[in-house]
Structure 1
Amino acid sequence: MKTQVLLDFTTHRVVSLAFAEGHCHDFKLFKESIGGTLPEDLLLVVDLGYLGILNFHENTFIPAKRSKNHELNEEEKALNREISRIRMEIEHFNAVFKTFQIMALPYRNRRRRFDCRAELICGIINFERAMV
């Protein structure tokens, strides 16, 4: 099971969840679940798993990709560092999310209940973050 989380950086809370069964590419899950429903003024910060997202949502920060023929210059490296600093909040959320072992291990229960359980866990995390 694959879970995609949309976080609000101002409140550090979960805004939206999307799920896919089995192996699914990040960008494909984004297109199928959220796709064109995002407001244009919303700022997205994503990783390189979302190459091609600029065709769907222009207000997006995606890291510059290095290739064999194109080395990154200092400006691109600085931009990648800033994006990594912002994305660190997502990685912190993933760590908290996976402290619940049902999300860290392969899911072996009924699949139709997975989304309910993941939403409950996100609700617990949102509640804890609101209390701080």
Structure 2
Amino acid sequence: MVHDFELFKRNLKQIPVGAFILADKGYQGISAIFKNCLLPLKAKRGCKLHPELKTYNREINKKRIGIEHVFGKLKTFKILSGCYRNRGKRLGLRFNLIAGIYNLQLSEK
């Protein structure tokens, strides 16, 4: 099984120059290989984040919430909610079809 971080590293060259990435706390190591990223900060074990850092996290999360809502909607298609067990070569096609269905639903609202 390929993890999200591995997929990110494989596709790093496809990210446009000057682009920024908004990622969640699970991608803490991303800043070592891609400088233009905004990540919420994690508190160290047994410590609390400073109020200014909490505000920083809140601002990033305000920008990411729309993305998270789309992921939640896309996960209603069971192919995206669990482990992908089909041919890897067709994943892009299937994902694009699901995204197209989602966009069609958006356009009808």
TM-score range, shorter chain: 0.7 to 0.9
Contiguous gaps of at least 5 residues in structure 1: 1-21
Q: CA deviation at 1:73?
A: 0.5
* Deviation (angstroms), 1:121: 0.5
User: Deviations for 1:88-131, whole angstroms, at most 9, x for unmatched residues?
Assistant: 112211121122233335555x4244432222011222333355
Matched ranges for 1:8-87 at <5 A: 22=1, 24-33=2-11, 35-68=12-45, 70-87=47-64
What RMSD over aligned residues (CA atoms) do the two structures have, in Å?
2.4
Aligned residues: 108
Higher helix share: 2
Q: Which has the higher strand share?
A: 1
How far off is 1:71 after superposition?
Answer: 2.9
Normalising by the residue count of structure 2, what TM-score does the alignment of the two structures yield? 0.77
Note closer, same or farther for the CA distance 1:107–1:37 as it changes in structure 2 (3 Å cut).
Answer: closer
Q: Tell me which of the two structures has the higher relative contact order, counting C-alpha pairs closer than 8 angstroms and 6 or more residues apart.
A: 1
Tell me by how many angstroms 1:58 deviates: 1.9
What are the ranges of 5 or more consecutive residues in structure 2 without an aligned counterpart? none
**Change beyond 3 A, Cα 1:102–1:68:** closer
Distance 1:54 1:104, change over 3 A: closer
Change (3 A) 1:129 1:42: farther
Give me the whole-angstrom Cα distance separating, in 2, the residues matched to 1:27 and 1:106.
15
Q: Match for residue 18 of structure 1?
A: none
